[in-house]
Amino acid sequence: MALQLGRAIGRGARRSLSISGIVALVLMICYQVLFVGSFNAVIVNQLPSGVQSSGSGVGFALPVPTEVAVGLAVVALLLGIGVFLVTARLFARDLSTLSSLPGELFTRRLGRAFLSALVVSAVLGVAITVGFAFLIVPGLFLAVSLQFAVFAVAVEDTGPIEAFRRSWELASGNRWRLLALVVLFGAVSAVGGAVGSLLAFVSPSVGQLASLVINSALTILIYGIIADSFVQLRGGSASATRSLA
């Protein structure tokens, strides 16, 4: 089935602006604030006391000891995986159902899905980074071909290996269109980063918090578009009869 880019972008935006999108945005902001605040706290706590009191220009940091900050950063990373899983489940539904929030989407086989998503995220992070380090093309190819892996885990309850196979299957025949989306996502993210950098001139903390909110909103928009692409391609495959949550 050929991916319809215009439809994916338009309907993806509608997904991100729905009740489900708002809930996903709140979860995303909480995750980002917790991770960045705790990560910055680790950095600030290593600075001399005089530099710490001056604000150090690091940005927003939680006022907690280093040990607590490290623990919170780890918790935030794990929370982030859960947020992406729930977001995938919320978005990969019919548009008419996005105003509802069934509890099952937040709890169904969450432990198994979490472990699978953890493995998928780790493998993708290493593979795509190595691909970009040697040549840009392999990194882009992997990013395009495997971008549906988390959706396969979240929506279809697959394990890591099957998730990669499923994503590869869905991307086949549509990689150029999906590459266009990846390029679009990169451009949108760059704009969000530029806005945050400009605000950082006013105040590092304010700029970083504003950047977190902007990037969270853009991430939800991007996830909405990927979700609609997933739904489109899934509908034209032999495995489309697998139930959505």
Report the domain count for the chain. 1
Residue in the block written with tokens 């918790």? 75
Check if the beta carbon of residue 128 is closer than 8 Å to that of residue 143.
Answer: yes
Residue 243 is assigned to a structural domain of this protein: no
Q: How far apart are CA 12 and CA 38, in angstroms?
A: 32
Domain that residue 15 falls in: 5-235
Residue 244 is assigned to a structural domain of this protein: no
Residue 56 is assigned to a structural domain of this protein: yes
pLDDT at 149 over 90: yes
Residue 99 is assigned to a structural domain of this protein: yes
Q: Could you tell me the two tokens for 143?
A: 């990013």
Q: What is the pLDDT of residue 238?
A: 38
pLDDT at 56 over 70: no
Q: What is the pLDDT of residue 23?
A: 96
Tell me the CB-side half-sphere exposure of residue 114, using CA atoms within 13 A: 14
Q: How far apart are CA 242 and CA 245, in angstroms?
A: 10
pLDDT in tens, 36-53: 999 988 888 887 766 555
| DSSP H helices in the chain | 5-16, 19-45, 49-53, 66-91, 104-107, 110-134, 136-145, 149-156, 160-171, 175-200, 204-235
pTM: 0.85
Average pLDDT, whole number, for the chain? 86
Residue 94 is assigned to a structural domain of this protein: yes
pLDDT at 58 over 50: yes
* Mean pLDDT score, 128-138: 74
Check if the beta carbon of residue 84 is closer than 8 Å to that of residue 59.
Answer: no
Q: pLDDT tier at 236 (50, 70, 90 boundaries)?
A: very low
User: What is the chain's length?
Assistant: 245
State the DSSP string of 47-72.
S-HHHHHTTTTT----S--HHHHHHH
Residue 27 is assigned to a structural domain of this protein: yes
Residue 152 is assigned to a structural domain of this protein: yes
Alpha-carbon 222 to chain mean position: 8
Check if the beta carbon of residue 25 is closer than 8 Å to that of residue 220.
Answer: yes
Residue 18 is assigned to a structural domain of this protein: yes
Q: Could you tell me the two tokens for 94?
A: 């019919």
